[in-house]
Amino acid sequence: MISNGYLAYEEYPIPIEEIQLEAALLIPGINMDLMSFSMPKFSMQVEGQEFQSQMEFENLVNYTWDLNTSGALDLGKIFQIIPVEGVGLKGLISGNFETSGNMLLIEEEKYEQLPTKGSVQVTDFSLTDETLPVDISITEADLSFDNQQIALNQFKVLFGESDLQMTGTLENFIGYALKPSEVLHGILNLSAQTLNFNPFLSMTDTSVTDAAVDTSVLEIIRIPINIDVVLKTQIGQLLYDNLEFKNMDGKVTMSEGIAQLDNLDFDLLEGDFLMSGFYNSNPLLPLFNFNFKIASMSIKETFSSFNTIQEMAPLAKDLAGVFSTEFVSDGAFDTVMMPVMESLSVFGLIDLRSATYSNPKFMKGLNKITGDQEEILKLQDINFEYGIADGTLIIEPFDFKLAGRTTTVYGSSGISGVQSDMDYILETDLKTGELGAAANNMIASLTGLNDLIAEEVRMKIKIEGNYEDPQFRLDGISKTKKSSGDEKIKDLAKERAKNKLKEQQKLAEKKIQEELDKQKAVLKSEADKKAAALKLEAVKKVEDIKEEAKEILGDKLKSKLGGKLKGLKKKDGD
């Protein structure tokens, strides 16, 4: 027993006062399994703030306990008593905690039968650390819990420019904490005016060169297979590297190592995004399948902001204007979370309301064939299909005006940068009589035909080489005649493209479910293997116990029989 205790050290400025303690340890005999510990009273004060606790513990065969604590802890005062170099910590943590139960309930996984409840409140918490780029403070936190769930009633944290609030519930947290195979379930609501992750991106090893910084800090993001959490987000502004996401709203479900995005809506580079799909972190190289809808986005800003666009479509460097697109993509990420180009598969529709293409080398080569003097291409109200398969970008035919003439472009190119090979065809209607003698002579010399003067022809131009050094050559000339059904054919093509996109989206949804089912099957198979192994181990233990029991009983029987035989011998006089 301690009554009105006092504890102080010369090195520490704050004493611990009013220490009250009643405790008893009982070992009734030599059997340690019957040991029990009782602490009906413990309390202390640090500058008027009280902490108290009571505990009962017994039965070393089936640990049985009854514990409750309550009080407040001033972290600032604790750090004055026990300072940590380079770290500053302040804040008041108060609350209460009650739990009782026994080890058998845990071994039998009957966590719901463990009476547990409590609450924790945090106010004016702040952390400064020399290793962190920003200070972190929790202005308010309030959570309560029982053996069923944790309820996060309020959580407000500030770090740098960021402000984050979170509420929600987590279930089966006791099982999750005690057994790796148990799954943590939850629904969390996350909101913020601003989230700025850039200070943390700068936390790189100073020995790494600048050229390597972009990838050296990246690694595969693995989602734990034993969490099943729905995260609902509302973020006003999210800053990551050179990107600024605005008005982010949507739902992310993380389950069995897979993150599923449902209608994640946000603004980026003055465009509107709507994104759905999944990210499967379980394979060695993670898989993804995303469905994007993008409206009114700047081509130049998109090109300058995304390395993948620079790789896949370097031609976009010389495009200016606004585009909208809808596409389905799937593939794998490499070890630095960049798409593996060979695995990438994309199908989509693109809409260029008003755009221009200006590349002097490209235009000079094209003009040499057509005889035009155009310096830029104007692309107005253009729609076309595109896709990526086997490391190749495929552009389906689309029409635009070149020097006032109807022109069609289609073909393919690589997606590995400016050195990628191009294989495109440009077809344009040409009135040879209006081009003058020089152009007609050029056509005649290229084709060997002299009877095309004053006729409208269809000129077919092959575009080869690469983006840095495009090569043009005339691939053919034919007579052309407009059909009254051309517009109807175009409308049908657009309708087919939309239907194809819908099919791709349905396939994407099916793929999401297949990935989830596949992962569930893997987990079930692993669980069955573990269960079978445990069963075999349990059977072996039972057999071992039986054998041991037989030996013990045999020894005891022999001992007893031996004693009786000795007695009989004595009686018989032998």
pLDDT, tens only, 120-173? 999 889 988 888 888 899 988 999 998 888 999 999 999 888 999 999 999 988
418 versus 20: the higher-pLDDT residue is 20
* pLDDT cut 70: percent of the chain above it: 76
Spatial distance between the Cα atoms of 305 and 3, rounded to a whole number of angstroms: 68
* 452: phi then psi, degrees, rounded to nearest 5: -100, 0
Q: Given this model, what pLDDT does residue 54 score?
A: 94
256 versus 485: the higher-pLDDT residue is 256
**Residue range 480-502: mean pLDDT, rounded:** 52
Spatial distance between the Cα atoms of 245 and 398, rounded to a whole number of angstroms: 32
Q: What integer best gives the mean pLDDT of the chain?
A: 79
Name the range with the highest mean pLDDT among 76-90, 228-242, 364-378, 427-441.
228-242
Q: Given this model, what pLDDT does residue 207 score?
A: 36
Q: Does the pLDDT at position 206 exceed 80?
A: no
* 326-364: pLDDT as tens digits: 888 888 888 877 888 778 888 888 888 888 888 888 998
Q: Given this model, what pLDDT does residue 442 score?
A: 58
* 417: phi then psi, degrees, rounded to nearest 5: 105, -170
Contacts of residue 209, defined as CB under 8 A and 6 or more positions apart, other chains included, come to none
**CA distances for 388 relative to 156, 173, 228, 324, 415, angstroms:** 44, 44, 33, 18, 9
Q: How many CB atoms lie within 10 A of CB 134?
A: 16
The burial class, CB within 10 Å (0-12 / 13-18 / 19+), for 220 is: middle
- Range from 364-373, 403-412, 547-556 carrying the lowest mean pLDDT: 547-556
**Residue range 478-501: mean pLDDT, rounded:** 53
Q: Given this model, what pLDDT does residue 521 score?
A: 63
Q: Given this model, what pLDDT does residue 23 score?
A: 96
The burial class, CB within 10 Å (0-12 / 13-18 / 19+), for 149 is: middle
* pLDDT cut 90: percent of the chain above it: 20
Spatial distance between the Cα atoms of 537 and 545, rounded to a whole number of angstroms: 12
Q: Does the pLDDT at position 568 exceed 60?
A: no
Spatial distance between the Cα atoms of 168 and 186, rounded to a whole number of angstroms: 7
How does residue 216 score in pLDDT terms, banded at 50, 70 and 90?
very low
Q: Given this model, what pLDDT does residue 517 score?
A: 65
User: Would you report the helix, strand and coil content of the chain in percent, each value rounded to 5?
Assistant: 30, 50, 20
Q: Given this model, what pLDDT does residue 528 score?
A: 55
Tokens in use for 168? 């929600």
Contacts of residue 211, defined as CB under 8 A and 6 or more positions apart, other chains included, come to none
The burial class, CB within 10 Å (0-12 / 13-18 / 19+), for 88 is: middle
Q: Are 423 and 413 in contact (CB under 8 A)?
A: yes
How does residue 189 score in pLDDT terms, banded at 50, 70 and 90?
very high
Strands 227-240, 184-196: pairing kind: parallel
Which contacts (CB < 8 Å, 24+ apart) does range 241-244 have?
Answer: 241/198, 241/201, 242/305, 243/268, 243/269, 243/305, 244/268
Scored b (16 or more CB within 10 A) or e, 137-148 reads bbbebbbbbbbe
Spatial distance between the Cα atoms of 344 and 327, rounded to a whole number of angstroms: 13
Q: Are 408 and 426 in contact (CB under 8 A)?
A: yes
Q: Given this model, what pLDDT does residue 70 score?
A: 92
Q: Given this model, what pLDDT does residue 33 score?
A: 84
- Flag whether the pTM goes above 0.75: no
Q: Minimal CA–CA distance to 306: which of 389, 212, 264, 243?
A: 243
Across 223-367, the runs of DSSP E, i.e. the strands, are 227-240, 243-255, 258-268, 271-280, 287-298, 319-332, 345-357
Give residue for tokens 């008027």: 48
**DSSP H or E stretch at residue 470:** strand 470-479
Give residue for tokens 């657009």: 494
Q: Does the pLDDT at position 539 exceed 70?
A: no
* 111-122: pLDDT as tens digits: 888 888 999 999
Q: How many CB atoms lie within 10 A of CB 570?
A: 9
**DSSP H or E stretch at residue 105:** helix 103-107
Spatial distance between the Cα atoms of 337 and 333, rounded to a whole number of angstroms: 5
